[in-house]
Amino acid sequence: MSLRRFLAIARKEWIHVLRDWRSLFLTIAIPMVLILLFGYALNMDLRNVPTVVWDQSRSSQSRDLLNLFDGSPYFSIDRYCDNYRDIAAALDSGRAMIALVIPHDFAKKIHGSEPVKVQVIADGSDANTARLALGYATSIGLIYSRNLSAAQVRLMTGTDLITPVELVPRAWYNPDLRSENVIIPGILAMVMMVIAAMMTSVTVAKEWEMGTMEQLISTPVRIPEIVLGKVVPYFVIGMLDVALAVGLGQWLFHVPLRGSAGLVFAMAALFLTGALFFGLMISITMKKQVLANQIALIAGFLPTMILSGFVFAIENMPLPIQCITFVVPARYFIALLRGIYLKGIGLEILWINAVLLGVYAVLMVFLAHRRMKLTLE
């Protein structure tokens, strides 16, 4: 391979990139939009769930229970009602997601040390939020019950209630359980897949449509020089987007980077290489810009979004789908990013993911070169 011819192809591709300022602008704007969109909109934390209450007791005991709900960061009591019809209307219209119904004999049973049931109604049309809300409501109910038991024991014996077993929960690596700390690292994989799908998937197809591929073939330039020369400019742009995504993640969302920043960029370069040559292979095969771009988005972006563990936990998927995720390279890249970002670990633990990313990159380089050779023969 001639370095001079390789640099000439790379320079030619740079000129195309700089002349198409709209596409160049999109390569910078799209990472920012994705980070802002996913960082702010894709929030899995449960906060301020609108709650409606029917307090039939209207006692100090029921107000103490409601104060626990309203004082927590998870629930926000927006309205009170006095019948099930109003509760159904609030849930149907979406004005409330949780309803509490406190029975009229609530205070009486508490004074008599009798068990009492408080009804919690959740809008199950959003199953995940309803599940979380019911779990938090149950926890608040247990706290209230424990406080009552402690008060009764203190009144009767003059001593505090001793709990035989007390669980002390602690979350490592993400103590505040902020969803941004999990989502932002995964956005790097999304950014690189979008850049690869949008840019390299049309670079060779554009040559075919414009009729310049025949002129390029007639020159002494060789296939490896064409393939590598067309990828290099987009690799540089992709790494700039990675730097932009890392910077915005720490500046806007304060996502901690506990591991090596150099390792993040090294693994990003490995993943980006595979993604770029994947897009290039599609461009070589399709020969039409629009078709190549659509196929690259479907084959690259959607699996990264759905099957990589970025949004949906792989462990919760059916077994056949879990098996399919093993061929999605973003799965290994996101595992690397979360390990480096949140746990501060390196290749001594994550080496298998790095090796599989390397295999992916080498395979895509080989397939793109092979496809170009078969196309030109």
What angle (nearest 5°) sits at the alpha carbon of residue 255, between those of residues 254 and 259?
130
* CA dist 94 → 8, 101, 205, 312, 360 (Å): 61, 18, 48, 25, 46
Of the ranges 214-228, 238-252, 275-289, which is most confident? 238-252
Residue 105 DSSP code: T
Mean pLDDT score, 88-111: 88
Band of residue 269 on the pLDDT scale cut at 50, 70, 90: very high
In this prediction, residue 215 carries a pLDDT of 66
Mean pLDDT score, 279-302: 78
Mean pLDDT score, 232-245: 86
Q: What are 12-48's pLDDT values in tens digits? A: 777 777 777 777 777 778 778 878 877 777 766 778 8
Q: What are 177-204's pLDDT values in tens digits? A: 777 788 888 888 888 887 776 777 767 6
In this prediction, residue 133 carries a pLDDT of 87
In this prediction, residue 333 carries a pLDDT of 93
Residue at token pair 């790379």: 10
Band of residue 73 on the pLDDT scale cut at 50, 70, 90: confident
Lowest mean pLDDT among 29-43, 118-132, 352-366: 29-43
Is pTM, for the whole model, over 0.85?
A: no
Q: Where is 284: in which H helix or E strand? A: helix 261-286
Note the CATH architecture for domain 49-157: 3-Layer(aba) Sandwich (3.40)
Mean pLDDT score, 223-227: 76
Q: Would residue 254 be called left, alpha or beta, if left means φ above 0 and alpha means ψ between -120 and 50 degrees?
A: left
Q: Which residue, among 282, 283, 200, 187, has the nearest Cα to 23 in the 3D structure? A: 200
In this prediction, residue 5 carries a pLDDT of 73
Mean pLDDT score, 108-135: 84
Where, residue-wise, is CATH 3.40.1710.10 in the chain? 49-157
Of the ranges 148-152, 235-239, 278-282, 320-324, which is most confident? 320-324
d(CA 119, CA 112): 20
d(CA 166, CA 23): 58
